[in-house]
């Protein structure tokens, strides 16, 4: 097996590698950006509501979405095991086994998400009461989040289908589904939030209903793709006797650590956002009614999601190429593809980060034109723009390790960094040292630096080349 130092240099980036990475990454990026657009559309449309509904809605959105991903992200980790197994089987030229992985992943995803989503739906009111004393915030947040959780099952099943198609190298399939889903969401948001097209005006709650409906539309599109003759004949995912306990166990073994890592990340950010709300609660004691820190944080997270989901697209491409290369017993190519993806993403998201550094107020004003929100969030937006390349590298190498079948290391690192670094540093800098919102986001920058460093160290070590799945 080749070590990192054994890989022959071919310039900064090999053209053939760039083409193959972009062929997989661009459709995945467009799909994830359109998926992110659901949340951006919610934030944008809420900006047209009157106060205090506008700021309450935008302030709760970051917490609601983090809560959704703490649960839905854990369940959607089925995609990690699915893509790793499908990629290996594709590399081994065994399409029927790839189809068997899909069938078992869909069944496992559906059963698990139904149970967990019902329990989460019932717990949402209590969770919101723990995060704020503002009755409007609690009411709006509870209603919106419960609607979003109605779409949690479809989100998880979509993740199973998506990872199958990603593993076979057809990332464009999810892009088609996501594009159609977003068109539906925009129309329904316009109708339900403001009461257009004869619909009942629901305000913030209407955005949650629109997202739930569009999520079910998305999984329907993915199902229809899998029922095409070309897929049914080649992969035979719905053949008799395809369900297998051993395949489900493999999926669980590969997916659960990733799910735990995702839940740790989202739980960490829930507590991170809770620290941010300390500042708004203090302002409320002095008569302020606008939760400017919470609103600014939601906007920063939404802008960062452009980087996050785009990097995930390069990560998807990397995981596919790593898993397929390992299936073909070519770890040297797997390694080369991963580092090439990192180089491309650092260049792309370094440029995006530079724009955020130079024009932070422009980015914030897109979603909220309140001078107070723009002013309190500008410095933090600059800081996160500066660490954009680190976020890109960390996320791509994380996905590369997932594709190689090594989610356990990622889980341990996320657990350590979130509860050992991100949260204590955020509280100390933001609250104890009175650095405010910038202090809190400084902790996120430190977290990004450490995550990128650890993932580069682990992937560079090469132990992942010997994993058998």
pLDDT score for 401: 95
- CB distance 174 to 166 below 8 Å: yes
Alpha-carbon gap, residue 453 to 393, rounded angstroms? 9
pTM over 0.85: no
Tokens of 212: 């739930």
**For residue 169, what is the DSSP state?**
T
**Which CB contacts under 8 angstroms, 24+ apart, belong to 406-410?**
406/458, 406/463, 406/464, 406/467, 407/80, 407/254, 407/255, 407/257, 407/258, 407/261, 408/257, 409/458, 410/257, 410/258, 410/261, 410/455
Burial category of 22 from C-beta neighbours within 10 Å (exposed 0-12, middle 13-18, buried 19 and up): middle
What is the pLDDT at residue 9? 43
Distance CA 377, CA 375 (A): 6
Spatial CB neighbours of 460, under 8 Å, sequence gap ≥ 6: 4
Q: Which of 176, 180, 202, 181 is nearest to 191 (CA)?
A: 202
Query: For position 11, what pLDDT does the model report?
Result: 60
Determine contact, residues 166/90, Cβ cutoff 8 Å.
no
Whole domain around residue 115: which residue ranges? 4-466
For the record, the structure tokens of 138 come out as: 């609690």
DSSP codes, 71-93: HHHHHHTHHHHHHHHHHHHHHTT
How far apart CA 360 and CA 189 sit, in angstroms, is 27
Q: How many domains does the chain have?
A: 1
Regions of the chain where pLDDT drops below 70: 1-11, 35-36, 289
3-state helix, strand, coil in the chain (%, to 5): 85, 0, 15
CA atoms within a 13 Å half-sphere pointing along the CA-CB vector of 185: 29
What's the confidence (pLDDT) of residue 8? 45
Cα 325 to chain center, whole Å?
A: 25
CB 420 within 8 A of CB 447: no
pLDDT at 4: 36
């Amino acid at each position: 097996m080749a070590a990192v130092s054994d890989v022959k240099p071919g310039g900064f980036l090999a053209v053939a590698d760039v083409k193959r990475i972009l062929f997989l990454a661009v459709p995945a990026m467009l799909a994830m950006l359109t998926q992110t657009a659901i949340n951006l559309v919610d934030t944008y449309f809420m900006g047209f509501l009157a106060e205090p509904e506008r700021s309450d809605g935008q302030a709760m959105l970051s917490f609601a979405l983090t809560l959704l991903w703490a649960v839905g992200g854990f369940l959607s980790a089925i995609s990690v095991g699915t893509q790793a197994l499908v990629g290996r089987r594709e590399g081994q030229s065994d399409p029927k086994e790839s189809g068997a992985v899909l069938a078992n992943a869909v069944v496992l995803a559906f059963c698990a998400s139904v149970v967990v989503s019902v329990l989460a739906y019932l717990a949402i009111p209590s969770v919101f009461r723990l995060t704020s004393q503002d009755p409007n915030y609690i009411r709006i947040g509870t209603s919106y989040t419960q609607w979003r959780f109605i779409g949690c099952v479809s989100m998880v099943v979509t993740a199973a289908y998506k990872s199958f198609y990603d593993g076979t190298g057809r990332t464009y399939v999810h892009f088609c589904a996501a594009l159609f889903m977003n068109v539906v969401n925009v129309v329904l948001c316009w109708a339900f939030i403001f009461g257009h097209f004869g619909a009942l005006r629901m305000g913030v709650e209407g955005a949650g209903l629109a997202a739930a409906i569009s999520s079910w539309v998305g999984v329907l599109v993915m199902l229809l793709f899998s029922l095409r003759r070309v897929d049914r004949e080649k992969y035979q995912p719905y053949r008799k006797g395809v369900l297998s306990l051993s395949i489900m166990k493999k999926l669980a073994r590969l997916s659960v650590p990733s799910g735990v890592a995702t839940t740790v990340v989202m739980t960490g950010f829930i507590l991170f956002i809770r620290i941010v709300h300390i500042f708004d609660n203090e302002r409320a004691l002095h008569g302020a009614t606008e939760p400017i820190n919470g609103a600014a944080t939601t906007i920063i997270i939404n802008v960062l999601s452009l980087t996050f989901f785009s990097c995930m697209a390069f990560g998807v491409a990397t995981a596919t190429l790593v898993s397929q290369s390992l299936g073909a017993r070519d770890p040297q190519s797997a390694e080369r593809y991963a580092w090439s993806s990192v180089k491309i993403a650092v260049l792309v998201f370094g440029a995006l980060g530079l724009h955020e550094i130079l024009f932070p107020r422009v980015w914030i004003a897109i979603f909220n034109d309140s001078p107070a929100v723009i002013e309190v969030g500008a410095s933090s937006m600059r800081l996160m723009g500066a660490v954009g390349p680190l976020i890109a590298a960390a996320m791509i190498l994380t996905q590369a390790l997932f594709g190689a079948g090594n989610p356990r290391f990622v889980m341990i690192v996320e657990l350590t960094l979130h509860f050992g670094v991100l949260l204590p540093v955020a509280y100390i800098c933001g609250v104890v040292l009175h650095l405010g919102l910038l202090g809190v986001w400084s902790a996120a920058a430190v977290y990004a630096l450490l995550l990128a460093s650890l993932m580069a160290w682990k992937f560079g070590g090469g132990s992942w080349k010997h994993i058998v799945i």
